[in-house]
Amino acid sequence: MKKIYEYIIDEKLQIEQVMEDYTNYICTIIKNSYINFSSEDTEEILLDVFLTLWKNQNKLDINKSISSYIAGITRILIKKKNRNIKFEDNIEDYQEQLADLTNIEIFFSENEKQKIILDELEKMKKIDKDIFIEYYYEDKQIKDIANLFEISQSKVKSKLFRIRKKLKKVLKDRGY
């Protein structure tokens, strides 16, 4: 993993090289978020990540891995974009989200769990899958989901309980 200082020449961050090296990495993080962003949204997130790095290049810890900054910024921008929160390009907003080497293993483990969950959701009835996604990925409240699908709140709760139970079994069977 490259450190930030490897991208600095004459005290300036070589953003073009960072863009060349990390565009695919950012696209993978966006894709693995399981939110169906349009190509325009994906491009906007990409540009915002690089803009944040560029504007804050003097605040970056040059001994940290650049991928840690990129991953943390990207994840926050995905959340903000998904919730329509205004973008702020101050690096201090991302400091807590930076992935260090110990967190990368956790990140990939969590990604694998997400893939297993999504594979299982694809096997379920459409309404069950949609309810689960609305609740866990879109952060909708049970009453809103009930209204959306025109079913009772207790039915939503029951479906979520059964889906969680099934997913827990699948994850346990796969060693998680």
Task: Name the segment(s) of the chain with CATH classification 1.10.10.10.
Answer: 106-173
Task: Name the segment(s) of the chain with CATH classification 1.10.1740.
Answer: 4-99
Query: Which H or E run contains 138?
Result: none
Which residue in this structure is represented by tokens 């906007």? 44
Average pLDDT across the chain, whole number: 80
Right CATH for 106-173 from 1.20.1440.120, 3.40.50.10420, 1.10.10.10, 3.40.50.920: 1.10.10.10
Dump pLDDT digits (tens) for 113-165: 777 888 888 899 999 989 988 887 777 899 999 999 999 999 999 999 999 99
pLDDT on residue 107: 52
- Cβ-in-10-Å burial (0-12, 13-18, 19+) of 137 comes to middle
pLDDT on residue 92: 57
Q: Rounded to an integer, what distance in angstroms lies between the CA atom of residue 92 and that of residue 70?
A: 13
- What pTM value is reported for the model? 0.49
CATH of domain 4-99: 1.10.1740
Q: Rounded to an integer, what distance in angstroms lies between the CA atom of residue 2 and that of residue 7?
A: 8
Dump pLDDT digits (tens) for 57-81: 888 788 888 888 888 888 888 887 7
Which residue in this structure is represented by tokens 């096997």? 123
Judged by phi (left if over 0) then psi (alpha if -120 to 50, else beta), residue 51 lies in alpha
Which residue in this structure is represented by tokens 């790095």? 53
Work out the pLDDT band at 28, boundaries 50, 70, 90: confident
* Stronger pLDDT, 108 or 173, i.e. the higher one: 173
* Stronger pLDDT, 63 or 89, i.e. the higher one: 63
Reading the block at residue 88, the tokens are 């702020």
Q: Output 172-176 pairs: Cβ under 8 A, ≥24 positions apart.
A: 174/116, 176/109, 176/113, 176/116
